[in-house]
């Protein structure tokens, strides 16, 4: 596993657009360290997140809210993700 995340060094700031800290994720510990902060899965011009400043990303990120159903039997769970992605390397971060 190797991909890059950028973080702000702050937590819970919904208006954050600057992510100056780039970290190469290589294992569970480096991932856990970065996701403690507000983070993005991309590199941006001047480290400022916006559509026009996007440079690149080397990771695919998905967000699963399970807001499609009130029935827990229809929700995507950690176990279900492991089944779906059994043939792939992936990392999971929950909120």
Q: What is the pLDDT of residues 16-58, one digit of tens each?
A: 999 999 999 999 999 999 999 999 999 999 999 999 999 999 9
- 47 in a structural domain: yes
**Half-sphere exposure for 12 (CA within 13 Å, toward CB):** 0
- 41 in a structural domain: yes
- 21 in a structural domain: yes
- 51 in a structural domain: yes
- 49 in a structural domain: yes
Q: Which stretches within the chain are classed as H helix?
A: 28-34, 78-84
Q: Which domain holds residue 16?
A: 3-63
Given a contact cutoff of 8 angstroms between Cβ atoms, the answer to whether 75 and 45 are in contact is no
Total domains in the fold of the chain: 1
> What would the mean pLDDT of 9-22 be, rounded to a whole number?
98
- 72 in a structural domain: no
> What would the mean pLDDT of 48-73 be, rounded to a whole number?
95
pLDDT in the model for residue 94:
83
């Amino acid at each position: 596993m190797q991909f890059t995340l950028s973080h702000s060094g702050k937590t819970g700031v919904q208006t954050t657009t600057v992510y100056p800290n780039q970290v190469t994720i290589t294992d569970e510990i480096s991932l856990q360290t970065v996701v403690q902060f507000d983070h993005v899965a991309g590199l941006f011009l001047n480290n400022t997140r916006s559509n026009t400043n996007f440079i690149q990303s080397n990771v695919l990120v998905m967000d699963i809210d399970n807001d499609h159903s009130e029935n827990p039997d229809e929700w995507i769970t950690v176990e279900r993700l492991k089944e779906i992605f059994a043939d792939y390397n992936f990392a999971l971060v929950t909120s």
